[in-house]
Amino acid sequence: MDILNNIITQKKLYDHTRCLFNKALLYLKNIVNFFYYKVEIKKNFYPCRLAGEFCITEKGETVITYKIFGHRNKFNISIKDIFADKKLMEKFHSSDVAKISFLAFGEIFFSLQENERLNKFVQIKKQIFDKNG
């Protein structure tokens, strides 16, 4: 009887130790997941947000209004300037970049003569798919 009690006590101690180890392992996994997702959120963070657009009729160009996260002010920049600045374009979400690109393409495309449009389209296409830029 004493041997049986001894075996049961050792088994309870083993189960308790294994349970504590599993709890510690789960706690460690939660800490790792917390920091992993914090890093992932920072990696997919876009500080600039598209706020609107308006057209300057004297010059005939479109101006984009955008807001930077954490700032109260809104900033204005012309389509041509923002289209040329790739570093600024990287700070916008991909859906905002698609909107800006659509407006820029329309402005560039419709400002040209009929015979120049195809050449400009091919030039823009090469610039978009350029590996270096």
Closest CA to 66 of 51, 87, 53: 51
Grouping H, G, I as helix, E, B as strand and the rest as coil, residue 129 is: coil
41 falls in which pLDDT band (50, 70, 90)? low
**In this structure, what are the phi and psi dihedrals at residue 112, rounded to the nearest 5 degrees?**
-95, 160
Please tell me the predicted confidence (pLDDT) of residue 26: 80
Strands 74-78 and 61-68: antiparallel
97 falls in which pLDDT band (50, 70, 90)? confident
What single-letter amino acid sits at 70? G
Residue 89: is its pLDDT beyond 80? yes
Instruction: Give the H or E element holding residue 74.
Output: strand 74-78
Mean pLDDT of the chain: 77
